């Protein structure tokens, strides 16, 4: 079976810089509750991870969990973030994937993500396309990018749910509340069963059916962390059949 990118791979100095700064910060200011990652020990080759999005802070605990389990993450992030001085250079050098929204270059993110997954990378997608706007911070209805990347690359699609980042920095808020230390729960579920979607024409209806399966799985997993029951109908901010955005607002 093909290999995959690990912490010992050539991942660029930007990645090393981010880890050297971010890892001590997270170890000092957060506590960790990680579950389900042992399954990655048996998983060779690239993977696609679809995760919920509650805060501008949550890429940090998501990256922390994946890095600590020897899967350096490659996030899809909006192009404007790559233009931020210094930070933009770091994430670009670290191989993060630019998302050009609502432009003729929007398809490049999907192409680059598929190529990355095929080459053995861990590609992380926020299928909601932005921080959730659900008033109770449940996952929203998703866009089809994560499913399309998994189907086109042939790589497994893992649902991941995180909870705790919103206590450090609330949705769409920039106040940082580091103390007292918050627990970052990051749980990795078993791969979504996409077999019935393979070998078919990937129509909008089929892609949305598969995406709904992913999003309801994330909602159920978040409910387990929260000890609560998720809504049967997920909040939707985007038009149901909008295909334009493949990535994240990060």
| pLDDT band with cut points at 50, 70 and 90 for residue 105 | low
Q: Are strands 47-51 and 73-78 parallel, antiparallel or unpaired?
A: unpaired
Q: Model confidence over 23-41: pLDDT tens digits?
A: 999 999 999 999 999 999 9
Q: What is the mean pLDDT of residues 221-236?
A: 97
- The answer on pLDDT for 106 being more than 80 is no
Domains and CATH numbers, the chain: 13-170+180-226 (3.40.1130.10)
**pTM for the complete prediction?**
0.91
Q: What is the mean pLDDT of residues 13-32?
A: 95
What whole-number percentage of the chain has pLDDT above 90? 75
């Amino acid at each position: 079976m093909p290999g995959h990118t690990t912490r010992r791979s050539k991942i660029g100095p930007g990645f090393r810089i981010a880890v050297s700064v971010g890892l001590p910060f997270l170890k000092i200011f957060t506590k960790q509750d990680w579950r389900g990652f042992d399954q990655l020990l048996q998983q060779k080759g690239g993977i696609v991870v679809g995760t919920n999005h509650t805060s501008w802070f949550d890429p940090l605990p998501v990256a922390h969990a994946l890095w600590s389990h020897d899967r350096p993450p490659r996030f899809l992030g909006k192009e404007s973030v790559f233009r931020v001085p210094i930070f933009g250079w770091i994430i670009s050098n670290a191989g993060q994937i630019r998302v050009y929204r609502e432009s003729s270059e929007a398809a490049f993110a999907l192409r680059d993500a598929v190529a990355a997954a095929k080459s053995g990378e861990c590609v992380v997608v926020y299928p909601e396309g932005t921080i959730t706007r659900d008033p109770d911070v449940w996952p929203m209805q998703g866009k089809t990018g994560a499913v399309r990347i998994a189907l086109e690359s042939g790589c497994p699609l893992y649902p991941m749910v995180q909870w705790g980042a919103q206590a450090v920095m609330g949705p769409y808020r920039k106040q940082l509340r580091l103390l007292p230390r918050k627990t970052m729960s990051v749980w990795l579920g078993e791969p979504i069963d996409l077999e019935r979607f393979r070998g078919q024409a990937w129509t909008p209806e089929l892609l949305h059916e598969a995406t709904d399966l992913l999003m309801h799985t994330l909602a159920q997993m978040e409910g387990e962390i929260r000890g609560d029951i998720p809504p049967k109908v997920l909040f939707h901010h985007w038009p149901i059949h909008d295909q334009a955005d493949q990535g994240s607002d990060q």
